[in-house]
Amino acid sequence: MTPRLITILTLLIGLGLFSYSLTLPYYKDQKSADDLIGNSYDMDKSDYYKKEAEPRTNKVIFMDLGSGLTIGLFMRTVLIAYHRGHCTA
């Protein structure tokens, strides 16, 4: 496999993960999320974060991974294109 093909495939995987994350809801059950937000003023901070992690989906993980891959490879491609156009050696 050539580096160009690996870069394009990784970029497509990153865009796919990011696009998929946009379709996921943030919480598995909206009712439990609403109850958690309603009771958040009476809870301790550590208890809130423990209970808040339970109903979450993997939306944030997919969004971070997808956008990180996409932005990183896009910047790599832009830098390579810039150096090819400006280096005459």
Give tens-digit pLDDT for 18-49.
999 999 888 888 888 888 888 888 888 888 88
Domain ranges of the chain: 3-86
Euclidean distance between CA atoms 79 and 83, whole angstroms:
6
| Beta carbons of 13 and 72 less than 8 angstroms apart | no
Q: Which residue has the higher pLDDT, 25 or 4?
A: 25
Q: What is the pLDDT of residue 20?
A: 92
Reduce the DSSP state of residue 27 to 3 states and report it.
Answer: strand
Give residue-wise pLDDT tens across range 48-82.
888 888 888 888 899 999 999 888 888 888 888 88
Retrieve residue 33's tokens: 């999320």
The overall pTM is greater than 0.75:
no
Q: Residue 66 carries which side chain, given as an amino acid letter? A: G
Q: What is the pLDDT of residue 11?
A: 87
Q: Residue 8 carries which side chain, given as an amino acid letter? A: I
Retrieve residue 49's tokens: 């974060």
Judged on CB neighbours under 10 Å (0-12, 13-18, 19+), 70 is buried
Confidence label for 87 from pLDDT (cuts 50, 70 and 90): low
| Beta carbons of 17 and 69 less than 8 angstroms apart | yes
